[in-house]
Amino acid sequence: WGAVWGDETLDRKTRSMLNVVMLAALNRMHEWELHFRGAIVNGVSRDELKAIL
């Protein structure tokens, strides 16, 4: 976990968007809810979330 989130190649916003989409595709709704809120904290707008979902 730390190695993935500590890697600076992708910013936190991009990484959050990838997690939200991945968890939705895997139907992991409990984890998705947590990462959805985290994505907002990491700067993902509601419009961006609508676009990726």
In this structure, the number of other CB atoms found within 10 A of the CB of residue 18 comes to 14
Q: What confidence tens digit (pLDDT) does each residue in 15-46 have?
A: 999 999 999 999 999 999 999 999 999 999 99
pLDDT of residue 2: 67
Find out whether 47 and 18 touch, Cβ atoms under 8 Å: no
Per-residue confidence (pLDDT) for residue 4, from 0 to 100: 67
- In angstroms and rounded to an integer, the radius of gyration of the C-alpha atoms of the chain is 11
- Helix 29-41, helix 12-25: angle, nearest 10: 160
pLDDT value of residue 1: 58
User: Predicted confidence band at 6 (pLDDT cuts at 50, 70, 90)?
Assistant: confident
If you ran DSSP here, which 8-state letter would residue 53 be given? -
Of 4, 27, 30, whose CA–CA distance to 12 is shortest? 4
